[in-house]
Amino acid sequence: MPADWLSITHYPSPLGPLTVVTGPGGLCRLAFPGEEPGATRSYLAQKFPGATINVDENGSSCREVLRQLDEYFDGRRFSFSLRLDLRGTPFQLIVWSALQKIPYGTTCSYSHIARLTGRPGAVRAVGQAIGRNPVGIIIPCHRVIGKDGRLVGFGGGLATKKWLLNFEEGNLKTNQTSTGR
């Protein structure tokens, strides 16, 4: 395939079908069920102008992504090791990198992420960058909560955020109990 191609497939997660988009540079989009119709294609047109978009019915273009998602939802994967093709501003890339440092099964505040970026006063900008995370779950923006502990802001919806946090917390407890920790 030429360098300007993208493949879309759907992953049947416990949350509903996730839209997975990969290209030559790696995973570039993971969208939650219930996303606005056309939002993924609009995102791809903006970030990957001129790319040919193919529907990959059997997921052959993203086998590794699907395998790691299977392991995550089976409770056997606590972090992802995928090639990512992220298109964002330098600040967004810094924020997305900081999000990847949040341990599985834990949460932190937006102000904590702002401190990790070296810009402790940029809490709102951090929130905006988190809101533009193109690969939720893989870059775990669901682990960021309000300073007061409330669940706030999540592109997949607060019910999905709550499900992911409960899933990780319960899975972590189960694994700690079974390993005697």
One-letter amino acid for residue 72 of the chain: Y
Mean pLDDT of 154-167: 91
Backbone region of residue 52 per phi and psi (left: phi > 0; alpha: psi in -120 to 50; beta: other values):
beta
| C-alpha dihedral (115, 121, 125, 126), degrees to nearest 10 | 20
Q: What are phi and psi of 43, to 5 degrees?
A: -60, -45
Q: Closest Cα partner for 20 from 37, 12, 8?
A: 8
The answer to whether domain 5-74 and domain 90-178 are alike in fold is no
Taking residues 61-68, report their average pLDDT.
94
Question: How is the chain split into domains, by residue range?
Answer: 5-74, 90-178
Which one of the listed residues 28, 62, 108, 141 is annotated catalytic? 141
- For the residues 172-178, what does the mean pLDDT come to? 65
User: pLDDT (tens digit, 9 = 90+) per residue, 1-51?
Assistant: 445 899 999 999 999 999 999 999 999 999 999 888 789 999 999 999 999
- CA distance readout (Å), 35 to 10, 79, 103, 149: 13, 24, 26, 25
**pLDDT digit string (tens) for 104-151?**
999 999 999 999 999 999 999 999 999 999 999 999 999 999 988 899
At the top level of CATH, the class of 5-74 is alpha beta
**87 close to 121: Cβ distance less than 8 angstroms:** no
Residue 141 annotated among the catalytic residues of the structure: yes
CATH architecture of residue range(s) 90-178: Orthogonal Bundle (1.10)
Residue 13 carries which DSSP code?
Answer: E
Distance CA 164, CA 170 (A): 10
Q: What pLDDT does residue 1 have?
A: 42
Write down the pLDDT at residue 157.
85
CA proximity to 40, closest of 4, 66, 81, 10: 10
Greater confidence (178 vs 93) lies with 93
